[in-house]
Amino acid sequence: MNILGINCFAHDTAAALLQDGEPMAFVEEERLNREKHTRAFPDRAIAFCLERAGIGIDQVDVVAFAHRAGLDFRRGAADALRRLPTSAKRLGAQAYIDATLARKERGFVRRFGYRGKTVHVGHHEAHAASAFYPSGFDQAAVLTLDRGGDFLSTTLGFGNGTRLETLAEVRNPDSLGEVYSALTWYLGFHPNADEGKVMGLAPYGRDRYAKEFRDLLRLTPEGLFSVDLAWFRYHLEGGWLSKRFLERYGPPRVPESEMTEHHEDIAFAVQDLVEEAGLHVAKALHRLTGSENLAMAGGVALNSVMNARLLAETPFENVFIQPAASDAGNALGAALYVWHLALRRPWRWRMVHAFLGPESDLASFRRVVEAR
């Protein structure tokens, strides 16, 4: 059986192809169109997967899209309606996103001539599947930490055999990823792309703002969290940070301008905030599951400093983090979700490497060097 997984929700578009439960190919579109964090539909990635597997589109049994049509809109619109009139722009954006996804799917069917079955897998369900099923764990706690998708930012789950269940969740706009991206913008970097630069900047800072930054979040007794939205505007489609934040901490850094101690200290504070929140959630997940294994995905799961603390400071003994923890990994996760949960097929594959994309031989390296 051939299952084609597609992530085309927003950024980091990608495709993956499973044959009888094992990936034959998996690649991000950006590797082929050379556009970092591309939002382009993964036509080239799909074509590569089909070619690598040696099949045509007519031999694909199921196409799994890593989003559920209408779900993000219904949840997001309900939240936006509660915040009118300041959320009017976001309400329009939610409708636009949903309509765009429908057009993308129709375009795929038309361009590739696909006539088979299509399935929609939830954004965080795909993240969770991309983490648990390749981990090799018979059972594991499963944590997804993200900016958002299907209007969820965080899920706590448990995987056992081929089963995968969600135990708790945090809905947007309460989101560690949104908070981190907002401060990425403040520091003069590109949100949803340069968060790693903030993580790298943080060790140069001091704890001057760390204690007061803790007030940006409320950690709940059951192990979840909420964001004090008075400091932000990302939930209103009106910028990233509120007037209150900018009055307290000053104007945002102009990109490429001098990096000051103030900026370093801000980076330290937001990194510390996310680490502490991640520890809080992970410890709660361990209490819920009792598992010694942890599998993680979602954009925030790419914060390697936080991950090191999770391994060192929680009861988990073994941690697997999906290498493609960003939305790109949802192409693989959606396909695995269909194989294991929709079709109830057995475990067949463990991810021991990430070399599932295009290869370059010596001749191609030589051509690139000679072209320079």
- The pLDDT assigned to 75 comes to 65
User: Which residues neighbour 355 within 8 Å (Cβ) at sequence distance 6 or greater?
Assistant: none
- The pLDDT assigned to 254 comes to 97
Residue 197, classified by CB atoms within 10 Å of its CB into exposed (0-12), middle (13-18) or buried (19+), is middle
**Residue in 70, 270, 101, 281 with CA at minimum distance from that of residue 178:** 270
Dihedral class, residue 351 (left if φ above 0, else alpha if ψ from -120 to 50, else beta): beta
User: Which residues neighbour 339 within 8 Å (Cβ) at sequence distance 6 or greater?
Assistant: 1, 3, 18, 21, 345
The secondary structure of residue 340, as a DSSP letter, is: I
The answer to whether the beta carbons of residues 335 and 18 sit under 8 Å apart is yes
pTM of the model: 0.92
| 352 φ/ψ angles, rounded to the nearest 5 degrees | -105, -10
Strand-pair category, 22-28 with 14-19: antiparallel
Q: How far is CA 116 from the centre of its chain?
A: 28
Q: If one looks up domain 137-321 in CATH, what number appears?
A: 3.30.420.40
Q: Which CATH homologous superfamily contains domain 2-126+327-371?
A: ATPase, nucleotide binding domain (3.30.420.40)
The answer to whether the beta carbons of residues 123 and 154 sit under 8 Å apart is no
CATH 3.30.420.40 maps onto the chain at: 2-126+327-371, 137-321
What are the residue numbers of the active site? 11
- The pLDDT assigned to 169 comes to 96
- The pLDDT assigned to 364 comes to 82
Specify the DSSP element, H or E, that contains 77. Answer: helix 71-82
Residues of the chain with pLDDT under 50: none
The answer to whether the beta carbons of residues 67 and 9 sit under 8 Å apart is yes
Specify the DSSP element, H or E, that contains 200. Answer: helix 195-201
Per residue in 263-321, pLDDT tens?
999 999 999 999 999 999 999 999 999 999 999 999 999 999 999 999 999 999 999 99
Amino acid at 317: E
**Would you state the structure tokens that stand for residue 109, as one six-digit string?**
């069917």
